[in-house]
Structure 1
């Protein structure tokens, strides 16, 4: 492993909220454009459950200017997680990491759905995942004016899924008659809490052509004139604070497809976003480019580094986008297993601080040549 040989500033033994490590990334304070930018996964890289990983604060302090370049190095947080507005996620991370993170730096799995607002702003959409009416609030913050949830559907007709009683949550429901309200799209914003009811509702909407309770249309019509279905996170597994990885939204998608295929004989067409998909990395590239242009003025995007813990999402996506990638050993990937990562990174590092130091030194050595 490459050890630091450049004149890094001495590490501070302690960091406090009174002295934020990272001021707002959009503040125009430097004139020298840095030669690199970063995209960080969150869980398993910066955070371990609700708590920051040990080297996360040091890594962000380096990006704040405590580096041999003496400049702020721009970064974004690119996660397959979600469940909050970007503002809420930025506030939570700022508090826990002792930094000031702007909502514009946060790209969650469902952030890319902002691109669909123009098409669906006035059409009824079903928002799956999250707790209660959280995903409706996120969708409405993006500009979707007719966003509905599983709770809305169950409050309208509890017989949709007679195996649970959700009366306690019906107070959160929007009163709407779904027998005359066509659902135009199903957006799986975040991991569903009850797979059974959500798979049932998805199949009902698709098979009935968007009107719940209507007779089912033939499979060919379902396929040629489909209800738009978008999954925002392909992760089969994700790292929580439980010792072993947990099933994610990718597993829910597989469950839905298995049931739909059993019912109809074919899989259902869908759009997949989230790491490692190309559209998500293109979206992230545009976000970071805009941040850089806000700080330094219009210019070229520097070399991009993705720091992640999951070879299947972080590393595969970065490699496909032509970014450099660093796989850290603090999350999904287990370096002691003896099994090499399924997608080879540019570099491996024990933690996020070493990953950042390696990338900065690498770019500096190129500049010095």
Structure 2
């Protein structure tokens, strides 16, 4: 079945004429969550209607009302403050760090569990994710290049640049038990990182130790982004952290004959914890602005990926809008894997449709 035709969206001016007698709500009756890549951005550049969509929510609407929204992405690799600053410059809209929910932002809720335990953080460039993890409250953060610095024979196919050694901690991992492996962002060296995860979980957390029973010495593994594909500025979708997870599990099964006896947690869209976390943030934004602690009656997820954005929103009981500027290709003739509440040509049309449906009906 072909995707249903896009309905004509009312322009902001026509909406203004239709609600001249309607009172302004005292508290916003809805909130928005936007994916970033493929919805607001195409690689480093904003999509044509992204700025206008956010301006409407910033108050350029018939009620002159600010409507709460967050940017909910399976991307990451930076602090929320750094990403807010970068996106603000690109989009021309002032974004605040608390509006940015990256794949690993939810790990702020895990710092109490692992604050004083050594954790191995994977992904990102250089030492950025160590800084992100430390900003969340993790106090003993190590990376796979740290392991390579300790013993280069762990992965003999890579050499450490001498300039990188100066900023890295000197740690004896044969005497340091790793309590958890946290895959914050997409790893840059899959072979090295798969090898080191295997070393950690098979030795009960102490790299180089004899292999032990996983059930008696479990090491938790957390993956923050299940996306198999994502949309960049390249014409075709790229593989993401979900592909890394599949690769790791395939290698683990080939070596041990087992699928995954180790404990692991999956965050990121479309998982329920990520959507609950986003809803909590939206409610807090409303409370900070209006003093209201009431749940939002309606939340709209605007996304381009049916497998993550739409599936997660539908499961959370949100309304979902699938835009045609990212992963989903309406020209393919195939329906989306998960049916959205509505389909829109772009993010501005999605916002206008949601406002007309909720505020102006």
Question: Could you say whether these structures have the same fold, taking a TM-score greater than 0.5 normalized by the shorter chain as the test?
Answer: yes
Cα distance in 2, alignment partners of residues 365 and 316 from structure 1: 27
What's the TM-score once normalised by structure 2's chain length? 0.93
Equivalent position SS for 1:127: strand
Question: Which shows bigger deviation, 226-235 or 166-175?
Answer: 166-175
Equivalent position SS for 1:223: coil
Instruction: Check whether the contact 1:38–1:306 (CA below 8 A) recurs between aligned residues.
Output: yes
Does 2:308 match 1:313? yes
Cα distance in 2, alignment partners of residues 165 and 140 from structure 1: 26
Instruction: Give the structure 2 partner of residue 334 of structure 1.
Output: 329
Select 2:47's aligned residue among 46, 53, 60.
53
Instruction: Give the structure 2 partner of residue 18 of structure 1.
Output: none
Instruction: Give the number of equivalent residue pairs.
Output: 344
Does 2:214 match 1:222? yes
Select 2:278's aligned residue among 278, 284, 303.
284
What's the TM-score once normalised by structure 1's chain length? 0.91
Instruction: Check whether the contact 2:12–2:352 (CA below 8 A) recurs between aligned residues.
Output: no
Select 1:166's aligned residue among 151, 157, 160.
160
Instruction: Check whether the contact 1:6–1:361 (CA below 8 A) recurs between aligned residues.
Output: no
Shift of 1:172: 3.3
Cα distance in 1, alignment partners of residues 130 and 310 from structure 2: 31
Shift of 1:206: 0.5
Instruction: Check whether the contact 1:78–1:107 (CA below 8 A) recurs between aligned residues.
Output: yes
Instruction: Give the structure 2 partner of residue 201 of structure 1.
Output: 196
Instruction: Check whether the contact 2:227–2:242 (CA below 8 A) recurs between aligned residues.
Output: yes
Instruction: Give the structure 1 partner of residue 20 of structure 2.
Output: none
Instruction: Give the structure 2 partner of residue 38 of structure 1.
Output: 32
Q: Deviations over 1:60-90 (max 9, x none)?
A: 1100111123211110000000000000000
Instruction: Give the structure 2 partner of residue 62 of structure 1.
Output: 56
After superposition, residues 1-369 of structure 1 pair within 5 angstroms as 1-4=7-10, 7=13, 32-168=26-162, 169-217=164-212, 221-268=213-260, 269-298=263-292, 299-366=294-361
Q: Deviations over 1:96-134 (max 9, x none)?
A: 101110000000000000111001111100000001111
Q: Deviations over 1:316-355 (max 9, x none)?
A: 0000000000000000000000010000000000100000
After superposition, the Cα gap between the structure-2 partners of 1:56 and 1:5, relative to the gap in structure 1 and judged at 3 Å, is closer
Cα distance in 2, alignment partners of residues 9 and 159 from structure 1: 66
Instruction: Check whether the contact 1:31–1:296 (CA below 8 A) recurs between aligned residues.
Output: no
Root-mean-square deviation (CA), in Å? 1.5
Instruction: Check whether the contact 1:57–1:97 (CA below 8 A) recurs between aligned residues.
Output: yes
Structure 2 residues without counterparts, runs of 5 or longer: 1-6, 17-23
Instruction: Check whether the contact 2:320–2:340 (CA below 8 A) recurs between aligned residues.
Output: yes
Equivalent position SS for 1:172: coil
Equivalent position SS for 1:136: helix
Shift of 1:302: 2.9
Instruction: Check whether the contact 1:77–1:106 (CA below 8 A) recurs between aligned residues.
Output: yes
Shift of 1:45: 0.3
